[in-house]
Amino acid sequence: MRDRTSRAPDVGWGWRLLDVVIAVRRRLGADRLEPYRPYLMLAPALALVTLLAGGIVYLVYLSFHSFDTFLFRQGPWSFEQYRRLVEPPSGDFNLQTLQRTLVISLLVTVGAVALGLPVAYFIVRTRSRAARILTLVLLLVPFLMGEVVRAFGWALVLGSNGLVAWVASWVGADSGGILGTPLAVWIGMMQVSIPLATLLILPALTRIDPDLERAAATMGAPPVRVWRHVVTPLARPGIAGAAAVVFLLSVAEYDMPAILGLGRLPFVANVIRSIYTLQNNLYLGSAFSLVLMAISTLFVVVLVAVGGIRNLRGGSDG
Amino acid sequence: MTVRRPDPTPPATFTRRDFLRLGTLAGVSVPVLSLVAACGETTPATTAAAPAGGVPAKPDKIVVRTWGDPWRSTYAEGPAATFTQKTGIPVEFDVTGFSEIQAKVQQAVAAGQRPPVDAVLTIEERAFAAKAQGISVPMDRSLLTNASELSSVGLPADGSTNYVSVSTYSQPLVYAPDRVQLPEDLSWEEIWDPRYEGRLFVTDTPSSLMLPVAKMLGLDVTSDDLTPVWDKIAELRPNIAAIGDEEEFLSGIESGEFDIGITLAATALEAEGLAWVTPREGSTVSTEAFWIPTNLPEETTYWTTVFVNEVIAAENQSLIAANLGEVPTNLGAELPDFMKEDPATFPFTEEDLERYALVFPVEVGARNNDAWQAAYTAAIQG
C-alpha cells in the first residue's frame, strides 16, 4: 500500500524554498523593479531583433566594400560588388537565378494558399472530431523530418527509377523522371508549404461566424458564392499572412533546388553559397543577400498593403 | 504610451518607445563598432621554425583538419597512428569544410588568437592562398626528412615550405559501362556529342573542365583570354543532367540520373561497376596539401611539422594510395595495381606527369579563383 505520509516533508521543503525566494526578493528590493517589468519582458525580443539587425548592418557594410579574395583583404568603400552582380560574366546568370527564385516561390505561394485554404476550412467546419485530429496530424507529419530527408524522399519518387517514371512507363509514356525540372522543385517545396499555409490560415477561419455563411445560404447564395463573397474576404488577413510567410521561406529555399533541381536550377541561396564557399567572396555574397532581402521585403509590404492586414489583431477591411 | 504605475514613485518620463529606440540604437551600434574594428588590418604572420636548443615540449594533442571519411579514417589509420606511436601525441581530426576552415583561421589570426586547428589539409590553391595571405608558416625543412623523396609536385614550385603536397588526383570521365560505352581512345570533344544529351554530370568547380577545354582550343589558361573556354563549356549545357560534388555524382549515377560524369578517379572507386577513361588530351591533375597556421605555440608548430613529415613517409603514402585512390607524392611509395596499370589516370612518375597530366596552375588558379569560378558557374548553370 502506498505511504501517503512520505510526501509530507517534500511539501514542507517546497514552502520553505518559496519563503527563501520571497525573502531574497525583498532583500534585493525586487518590488522596485515592478514598474519596469514590461521593459524587462521586452528584453529577449529586443536582443534577438538587435542581433538580426546587427547582422544586416554587417552585410550592408561588407557589400559596399571592394575585396581581394586572393589576399583576403578588404578594399575601400565601393559599389564593386553590386556592379559584379549585374555585369558579365555573371550578370545574366544572376538575373536568371533571381527570376527563377521569384517565379517558383510565387507559384509555391499561390499553390500552397489555394490548397491550404480548403483544408483549413474543412478542419474548422467538420463535425467529426476524429477527422479534424487526423487532418491536423497529417499536416504536422512533414515537419517531423528534416528538409534534406524530405528532398531525398522526393528524389526517389521523382527520379528516373522512381514512382513517376514507373507510372509513366506503365501507361506507355517514355519518361526518365522529372528530377532536374522546375516542376520537381515546385512539388518538393509544396510538401511543407501546404501544411504551413493551412496552419497559418486556420486562426482566421476560426474567427468567422458560421451564422454569416448560413445567412448567405438562406438568402439563396450557392456554396461557391458564399465561399467567394463571405469566407474568402473574411479570411483575407490570414491568407495574406500565410502567403507572406510561405513566400519568404520559399525565396530562401536551398535544399530542394539543390537536390531536386540536380544543381541545374539554382535559387539565389544556392548561388550565394557558391559565392561564399567556392569563390571565397563573402562581400559579393552579402550584396546578393541584400538584393534578395530587399525584393522579399518589398513583396511583403505589397502583400500587407493589399491583403487587408491593418492591425495585429488580424482585422479585415473586407 | 505611458506605463501604469502601482505606487507613487516618480512619474516615468522614459517611455517604452524610448526604451526600444535606445535599445535598438545600442544594439546596432555595438556590433557595428565591433565589426568596423575587426575589419582593420590583419595581424602579420609570424614565422615559426624549430626552437633553438633541442626538442620542444610536447603538446597534449594536435588537431588536423581533413575531409570526412575515407580521408579521416585513412589519416587516422596511417600517419596519425604512426605519429602517436613515435611521439605519444594524440591526433584529433576536424572535418570543417575547406572554405570555412580557411575563413576561421583568417579570422583567428586577424584577431590575434590561436587558430582552431594545427594543420589544414586542403587543395593546393588554397594552401598557396594561405601563404600569400600570411596565415601559414614555413615548415622547418630539417624536420621534413621525407621531403627528399617527393616528386616535383610535392613542394611549392618557389622552393618555400609553407605547404607540403601529399597526394594528387585526376578528373577523368567516369561512366556506367552497363548503360553507355565510351571508346578507349577518345577526345574530350566526345562529350559535346548530342547523343549524350541529358546524360552528363559535371563538377561545380571549374578545374575539371577548363583545362581540357583550353587544351582542345589551344589556349594557355595562364596567359590567354578564357572567354572561348567559357563559351565552349556553355555549349555543353544540353548534355548536362546534373551539377555537384563527388557525393552527388555517386548518388546520381547509382540512381540512373546520368551515365557519364567528370569527377575524381578516386570517387569512381567508391562505387561498384563504374569505369573510367582519360581522354587523349589528358585530365586535370590537382594536389592536396598540408599547411600549418601561424599564431600557434612554437612547440605545436614543431610537432605538427613532424606529423606532416609522417604523412609523406613512404609507408603512409602507400596507404593513402590504396585507401583514397589518390596518387602519392612520395616516389618511394608502393602503388596499388589499378594505379600501375593506368598511368594516364594516375600519373605518378615525373614522366607520367609530363606525358598525361594537365597540372592545375596553382598560382594563377589561386589568384583567379573568384573570377574563374564565377565565369564557370554562369557557363554551366546559366
Q: Which three cell numbers stand for residue A187?
A: 512539388
Task: Enter the DSSP assignment of B188.
Answer: G
Residues of chain A in contact with residue B3, where contact means CB-CB under 8 angstroms, are 35, 38
Which of A160, A279, A282 is facing B369, going by the closest CB pair?
A: A279
**Does B24 lie at the interface with A, CB-CB under 8 angstroms?**
yes
C-alpha A196: how far from chain center: 8
Q: Is B117 on the interface with A (CB under 8 A)?
A: no
Q: Are A280 and B370 in contact (CB under 8 A)?
A: yes
Residue A167 is predicted with a pLDDT of 87
Query: What's the Cα-to-Cα distance from A318 to each of A118, A197, A239, rounded to whole Å?
Result: 19, 20, 13
Q: Which of B16, B39, B382 sits opposite A38 (nearest CB)?
A: B16
Distance between CA atoms of residues A318 and A242, nearest Å: 17
Nearest to B370 among A49, A69, A156 (CB): A69
B contact residues 322-381, partner A, Cβ 8 Å cutoff: 366-367, 369-370, 373-375, 377-379, 381
Predicted confidence band at A136 (pLDDT cuts at 50, 70, 90)? very high
Where do the structural domains in chain B lie, given as residue ranges? 62-169+286-360, 173-285+368-381
The span from the CA of A9 to the CA of A16, in Å, is: 11
When comparing pLDDT for A317 and B83, which is higher? B83
Q: Is some CB atom of chain A closer than 8 A to the CB atom of B132?
A: yes
* Facing residue for B374 by CB, picked from A90, A159, A179: A90
Map grid coordinates 528534416 to a residue.
Answer: A146
B187 touches chain A (CB under 8 A): no
A134 Cβ contact list (under 8 Å, min separation 6)? none
Contacts of A45-52 spanning 24+ positions with Cβ under 8 A: A46/B20, A46/B23, A46/B24, A46/B27, A47/B27, A49/B24, A49/B27, A50/B23, A50/B24, A50/B26, A50/B27, A50/B28, A50/B31, A51/B27, A51/B31
**What span, in angstroms and rounded, lies between the C-alpha atoms of B329 and B153?**
7
A238 band by pLDDT with thresholds 50, 70 and 90: very high
Q: Which residue do the cell numbers 630539417 mark?
A: B142
Which phi-psi region, left, alpha or beta, contains residue A84 (left: φ > 0; alpha: ψ -120 to 50)? alpha
Give A30's contacts in chain B (Cβ within 8 Å).
none
| Measured distance CA(B99)–CA(B373) in Å, rounded | 14
Interface of A with B in 98-137 (CB under 8 A): none
* Residue A150 in contact with partner chain B when CB distance is under 8 A: no
C-alpha cell at A167: 507510372
pLDDT band of B14, cuts 50, 70, 90: very low
Fold match between domain B62-169+286-360 and domain B173-285+368-381: yes
d(CA A2, CA A16) in angstroms, rounded, equals 25
* Beta-carbon separation of A278 and B373 below 8 A: yes
The predicted-structure confidence for B285-313, as pLDDT tens digits, reads as follows 999 999 999 999 999 999 999 999 999 99
Residue B261 one-letter amino acid: G
**Is the CB of residue B239 less than 8 Å from the CB of residue B199?**
yes
What one-character-per-residue DSSP string does A203-237 give? Answer: HHHHTS-HHHHHHHHHTT--HHHHIIIIIHHHTHH
Residue A315 has what pLDDT? Answer: 45
ipTM of this predicted structure: 0.81
* Cβ separation B241–A180 shorter than 8 A: yes
Residue labelled with grid coordinates 517611455 = B15
**Nearest CA-CA partner of B260 in B247, B270, B274:** B274
* Tally of CB atoms within 10 A around B19: 18
pLDDT in tens, B88-124: 999 999 999 988 999 999 999 999 999 999 999 999 9
CATH homologous superfamily of A89-307 equals: MetI-like (1.10.3720.10)
Fold classified for B62-169+286-360: D-Maltodextrin-Binding Protein; domain 2 (3.40.190)
Question: Where do the domains of chain A lie?
Answer: 4-63, 89-307
Residue A1: is its pLDDT beyond 50? no
CB contact A47 to B (< 8 Å) = yes
CA proximity to B196, closest of B206, B217, B208, B181: B181
Chain B hits for A176, CB-CB cut-off 8 Å, are 198
Q: Tell me the chain B residues in contact with residue A39 when contact means C-beta distances shorter than 8 Å.
A: 16, 19
Q: Which of A57, A89, A97 sits opposite B230 (nearest CB)?
A: A89
Query: Which residues are within 8 A (CB) of B144 and not within 5 positions of it... i.e. 6 or more apart?
Result: B161, B164, B305, B308, B309, B312
| B166: DSSP letter | E
The set of cell numbers assigned to B18 is: 524610448
B204-241: pLDDT as tens digits:
999 999 999 999 999 999 999 999 999 999 999 999 99
Q: Which residue of B has its CA nearest to A275?
A: B374
Assign A285 a pLDDT band (cuts: 50, 70, 90). Answer: very high
Query: For B99, which residue in chain A has the nearest alpha carbon?
Result: A277
Chain B positions in Cβ-Cβ contact with residue A148 (cut-off 8 Å): none
**Site of grid cell 608548430:** B301
Residues 156 to 195 of A: which have CB under 8 A from any B CB? 156, 159-161, 176-177, 179-180
Question: Which residues have C-beta within 8 Å of that of residue B17, sequence separation ≥ 6?
Answer: B1
CATH number for the segment(s) B173-285+368-381: 3.40.190.10
Residue B325 has pLDDT above 50, yes or no: yes
CA dist., res. B362 & res. B221, Å (int): 11
Q: Tell me the C-alpha distance between B372 and B158, whole Å.
A: 23
Per-residue model confidence (pLDDT) at position A9? 54
Report d(CA B134, CA B101) in Å as an integer.
Answer: 15
Residue B342: predicted pLDDT? 93
Mutate to test the interface with A, among B373, B376, B380 (most CBs of A within 10 A): B373
Q: Which positions 36-75 of B are in contact with A (Cβ < 8 Å)?
A: 36, 39, 42
